Amino acid sequence: MDLPIPDIREDATANVACHPAKDKDLKWIALPLARVPNWQQKAIEKFAALLREYKSLQVYMDICARCGACAEKCQFYLGTGDPNNMPVARAELMRSVYRRYFTPEGRMFGAAVDAYDLDEAMLKKWYTYFYQCSECRRCSVFCPYGVDTAEITWAAREIMASIGVATKYVTEVIAKVYQIGNNLGIPPPAWLDNCQFLEEELKAETGKDIRVPVDVEGAEVLLVPPSADNFANTNTMMGYAKLFHALGVSWTTSTYANEAGNFGLFLNYPSMKKVNCRILEGARRLRVKRVIWGECGHAWRAALYTDTLNGPLDFLEVPHPTHICQYTLEMLRRGALKIDKSANDDVLVTYHDPCNPARAGQLLEEPREILRACCNKFVEMRGDTIRERTFCCGAGGGLLTDEIMPIRMSGGKPRAEACRATGATFMATICAICKAQLPELMKHWKVECAIGGVHELLGKSIVF
């Protein structure tokens, strides 16, 4: 990668931290409203429970050889030079506490063996640097021992949440899902209004009566998009509608389950489970045959855990999660869609692999094959910046919040530079967080490239 390895800048981002959670949000999520009085003891008890429950965490605590192979693979280190953003150093914040409380040598010799108390200063570092990690897993691709630092970040956040330490952004979003049903806090009447507005837009664009259905009982497909697709990435939403219309498939959205995004993944296991459960409940209420997840990265990662989180989908005719890209590709391969690729000739398209579909969701080929089927002009970014080596957009993992803008922009720089090198004028992606972050990133680094969804381009190319 062309991006130079930065000079080390000790504590460069030590003071760039997310705003802390508000009581009203913590209350909704049933977390302690303030730091619990005996927080150190409680945190270590939680740490012990996670070590018992997740054998992978125990292994990650023990096997790191400090070889440094991951050190320069994190976009947040490349962008900031802060050594605590090296994956090995980030994980060491947790390992040093692990040694202190869970190993004989750490209990006996303390700092002499790099074992440290979980005190106020350490907790501050955990809060700062585990919320400067986007849980992207890029570092894990390069670790010869398979250490997954994203899982270490998960565990650290889970421990912090258990003692009442979390960020405003993440808890606010989850609280909105609990209260209203989706990340944006869109009430059912507004969802319905917007679907009707999109139908008018579709009529104006195509001359066809293309539906964006809501709460249709007995539909074949329940589409669960990220709620942002209905309000911000509307071209993607209209692309889904064109797809189902062209196929003649009955489908619906749900005012109860209209959020694929799962911010529980960024906070703790119970929240992830509860947010995902809404989707299954929405499918049961509408008695659909299958559920299709829309273009959302972390939603798809959570979707693949559905069996573990919420039990089997055996009440559906198609008893497993389907991603919209898997579904669309199957239809293209069957020849069920008529496509005019020249409809996208006004753009040179590249594809940004969001971290979760690429490294945790087995979705590497599907979006590319769809893009090649609907665009004449497609170019890949450099091989070491795509597929499972993709760089994070800079805002995944609960980092899409303005108070840490310096982290977002510096962490996203490798993505922006790889895009610039292609000369692409349109970057397609399948993640609502990427779609929110990338336009700001491109503007910041002065890369002339529009951002949009794979189904936006597909929709443009469908011939009715």
381 CA to centre of own chain: 21
- Given the complex with ligand SF4, which of 136 and 173 has the nearer CB atom? 136
Q: Could you tell me the smallest distance in angstroms from the CB atom of residue 144 to ligand SF4?
A: 6
With tokens 């929709």, the residue in question is: 459
**Residues 110-169 close enough to bind ligand SF4 by CB under 6 A:** 133-139, 143, 145, 147, 149-150, 153
With tokens 């209260």, the residue in question is: 179
- Given the complex with ligand SF4, which of 236 and 262 has the nearer CB atom? 262
Bridge partners (DSSP) of residue 427 are 350, 451
Q: Could you tell me the smallest distance in angstroms from the CB atom of residue 8 to ligand SF4?
A: 16
Q: Could you tell me the smallest distance in angstroms from the CB atom of residue 53 to ligand SF4?
A: 21
Does 66 help bind ligand SF4 (rule: CB under 6 A)? yes
Q: Could you tell me the smallest distance in angstroms from the CB atom of residue 314 to ligand SF4?
A: 34
Contact indicator for 224, 259 with CB cutoff of 8 Å: yes
Alpha carbon distance, N-terminus to C-terminus of the chain: 43
The candidate with the shortest Cα–Cα distance to 168, out of 18, 13, 16, is 18
Reduced to 3 states (helix: H, G, I; strand: E, B; else coil), residue 166 is coil
Instruction: Give CA–CA dist 94/52, Å, rounded.
Output: 16
Instruction: Give CA–CA dist 137/359, Å, rounded.
Output: 7
Alpha helices in 86-187 (DSSP H): 87-102, 104-109, 120-130, 138-142, 149-162, 168-179
Does 5 help bind ligand SF4 (rule: CB under 6 A)? no
* Size of the residue set binding ligand SF4 (CB under 6 A): 26
User: Which one of the spans 21-29, 34-42, 85-93, 211-219 is the region binding ligand SF4 (CB under 6 A)?
Assistant: 85-93
Structure tokens at 72: 């320069």
**Residues 252-311 close enough to bind ligand SF4 by CB under 6 A:** none
- Given the complex with ligand SF4, which of 152 and 309 has the nearer CB atom? 152
Among positions 18, 88, 279, 360, the unique one binding ligand SF4 when judged by CB under 6 A: 88
Q: Could you tell me the smallest distance in angstroms from the CB atom of residue 76 to ligand SF4?
A: 5
- Sheet with 349-351, strands from edge to edge, namely 349-351, 426-429, 450-453
Instruction: Give CA–CA dist 128/111, Å, rounded.
Output: 22
Contact indicator for 404, 18 with CB cutoff of 8 Å: yes
Q: Could you tell me the smallest distance in angstroms from the CB atom of residue 407 to ligand SF4?
A: 10
Q: Could you tell me the smallest distance in angstroms from the CB atom of residue 13 to ligand SF4?
A: 13
Among positions 87, 181, 261, 264, the unique one binding ligand SF4 when judged by CB under 6 A: 87
User: Which one of the spans 41-49, 59-67, 280-288, 373-381 is the region binding ligand SF4 (CB under 6 A)?
Assistant: 59-67
- Given the complex with ligand SF4, which of 88 and 302 has the nearer CB atom? 88
Amino acid identity, position 144 = P
Does 67 help bind ligand SF4 (rule: CB under 6 A)? yes
Q: Could you tell me the smallest distance in angstroms from the CB atom of residue 65 to ligand SF4?
A: 4
Structure tokens at 259: 């959020």
Does 384 help bind ligand SF4 (rule: CB under 6 A)? no
Question: How many other C-beta atoms can be found within 10 angstroms of the C-beta atom of residue 310?
Answer: 16
Does 393 help bind ligand SF4 (rule: CB under 6 A)? no
Contact indicator for 128, 259 with CB cutoff of 8 Å: no
Which residues form the interface with ligand SF4 (CB under 6 A)? Answer: 64-70, 73-74, 76, 87-88, 90, 133-139, 143, 145, 147, 149-150, 153
